[in-house]
Amino acid sequence: MKMKAVLILSGGVDSTTLLYKMLADGYEVTALTFNYAQRHKKEIECASRIAGLLNVPHQVVDLSGIAGLLGDSALLGKKEVPRCHYTEDAARQTVVPNRNMIMLSIAAGFAEAQEVPEVFYAAHRNDSTIYPDCRPEFVEALRPAIRMGTAWHPVELKAPFLDLSKAEIVKLGLGLGVPYELTWSCYRGEAQPCLECPTCIERMEAFTLNNAIDPLLGR
Amino acid sequence: MKMKAVLILSGGVDSTTLLYKMLADGYEVTALTFNYAQRHKKEIECASRIAGLLNVPHQVVDLSGIAGLLGDSALLGKKEVPRCHYTEDAARQTVVPNRNMIMLSIAAGFAEAQEVPEVFYAAHRNDSTIYPDCRPEFVEALRPAIRMGTAWHPVELKAPFLDLSKAEIVKLGLGLGVPYELTWSCYRGEAQPCLECPTCIERMEAFTLNNAIDPLLGR
């Protein structure tokens, strides 16, 4: 019998690669995508398209009602998206406070309700130097809290990319045939990637380090 | 300068008493109330009325969009509210999976965005025998996760009623002059408390143990 799991799928490079990896590993995946009123809503459409392509059950969770509570992040369209590589300051401009714990706690409740034993998210090594809620110590702390909060059908938190760089994730995904042209990263969320914001720059680097061309840019 | 804190205010006995206690202790409180499509929406109006009475800033957080993800709890109107004291089975009928972690993670994000250093909730000793996400070990596990997830402006989780029974909370509240006639507990959320559901029974017991009359029933 297949192992069941819930995956937080943003529609970006990392979580899409994780979805392909989980399917290759034999998981039966349900994907959740969060609408938190992010500026780059395009990623939600990307997630839907990818899930549809793979026949993966997919739900978009509407959290747009909480965006007003979460401060003035550039990701919520309240200030300009920085035009630079990830720096401490750029990270602070783009952080949505406690976003990952919010998404993971809802994913864990959803998993418990369906008696699905695992929740995955694609935090990785680059993220962990940037955002507090992507760090290994955060994952290690949250794991027992989720297990205890869902005690009747305990849910285990998995973050298998914690030790991988984004370039290593892209390497894995290229091997798995991930259609990166269907993914979206750019924080601006306009017609084409801006190639100036932190996540665009990081994405370009990850492909360059693999001597590969990002198929999203070739279109 | 007053200490600032965010409180999860349901509009029931416990969190209302905690609000009075925090104000008595000199806290500057912002209250958050969650609409998770609970059957007993009356509690939300109660929370608003109480916050208004005390001039406490108050926001109602709309999570009604996630109710469909969280299973078939009686609290979400998907099955009958049990007519009995809290039993293992009654607790399972009324649990909303991981509800408290979901609310606390949003409250922590909100607190971090405003650089408020503490988030309070009113889990107590009776709850802890019933719901996993009210237990001391859950609070102990979640505390460091919240601290790490909000690392730029660390938020501390406080649950000062963990060791108190509901009767002890009512005792404290009667001393503080809490207007319990403005609070709501009944899971049915009809015109009058049903006096048959687990939370009605628990509430009656708490007043009886204090030789007090619940002013909500005297109206």
Establish if A217 belongs to a structural domain: no
Burial class from Cβ neighbours inside 10 Å (0-12, 13-18, 19+) for residue A155 reads: buried
Mean pLDDT across the stretch B17-30? 98
DSSP state of B181: G
Q: Say what the alpha-carbon torsion angle A97, A113, A157, A169 is, to the nearest 10 degrees.
A: -80
Please give the ipTM for the structure prediction: 0.93
Distance in Å, alpha carbon of A175 to nearest chain B alpha carbon: 33
* Separation of alpha carbons A24 and A26, rounded Å: 5
Contacts of B208 (CB under 8 A, 6+ apart): none
Q: How much is the pLDDT for A92?
A: 79
Q: How much is the pLDDT for B167?
A: 97
Q: How much is the pLDDT for A78?
A: 74
Establish if A218 belongs to a structural domain: no
Establish if A214 belongs to a structural domain: no
For chain B, say whether A101 makes contact (Cβ under 8 Å): yes
In the sheet with A4-8, reading across from the earlier edge strand, the strands are A58-62, A28-35, A4-8, A118-120, A156-158
* Model confidence at B86: pLDDT above 90: no
DSSP three-state, residue A146: helix
Contacts of A147 in chain B (CB under 8 A): 141
Domains contained in chain A, number:
1
Contacts of B68 (CB under 8 A, 6+ apart): none
> Which residues partner with A137 through β-bridges?
none
**pLDDT for B184-194, tens place per residue?**
998 888 889 99
Average predicted confidence (pLDDT) for chain B: 92
* Model confidence at B219: pLDDT above 70: no
Instruction: Quickly state the pLDDT bin for A219 (edges 50, 70, 90).
Output: low
Q: How much is the pLDDT for A13?
A: 97
Establish if B171 belongs to a structural domain: yes
The shortest CB-CB distance from B152 to any of A104, A132, A145 is to: A132
Partner-chain contact A101 B92, CB within 8 Å:
no
Partner-chain contact B65 A70, CB within 8 Å:
no
Q: Say what the alpha-carbon torsion angle A170, A173, A174, A177 is, to the nearest 10 degrees.
A: -160
Q: How much is the pLDDT for A32?
A: 98
The shortest CB-CB distance from B61 to any of A65, A99, A110 is to: A65
**pLDDT for B152-194, tens place per residue?**
899 999 999 999 999 999 999 999 999 999 999 988 888 899 9
- φ/ψ of B62, rounded to 5, equals -85, 105
Q: Which residue of B has its CA nearest to A113?
A: B71
Q: How much is the pLDDT for B127?
A: 77
Distance in Å, alpha carbon of A7 to nearest chain B alpha carbon: 14
Question: Structural domain of residue B11, as residue ranges?
Answer: 4-209
Question: What is the CATH classification number for the domain harbouring B18?
Answer: 3.40.50.620
* Separation of alpha carbons A147 and A20, rounded Å: 26
pTM comes to 0.94
Distance in Å, alpha carbon of A107 to nearest chain B alpha carbon: 9
* Model confidence at B72: pLDDT above 90: no
Establish if A26 belongs to a structural domain: yes
Distances (CA, A) of A105 to A22, A145, A155: 21, 10, 10
Establish if A153 belongs to a structural domain: yes
Establish if A184 belongs to a structural domain: yes
- The neighbour count for residue B26, using CB atoms within 10 Å, is 8
Least confident segment among A26-30, B26-30, B77-81, B194-198: B77-81
Mean pLDDT across the stretch B106-122? 96
CA max distance for chain B: 49
Contacts of B175 (CB under 8 A, 6+ apart): none
Establish if A106 belongs to a structural domain: yes
Mean pLDDT across the stretch A178-192? 92
Distance in Å, alpha carbon of B78 to nearest chain A alpha carbon: 13
* Model confidence at A152: pLDDT above 70: yes
Partner-chain contact B149 A138, CB within 8 Å:
yes
Contacts of A113 in chain B (CB under 8 A): 69-72, 97
* Separation of alpha carbons B146 and B133, rounded Å: 14
Strongest mean pLDDT among A32-46, A128-142, A153-167, B67-81 = A153-167
Instruction: Quickly state the pLDDT bin for A37 (edges 50, 70, 90).
Output: confident
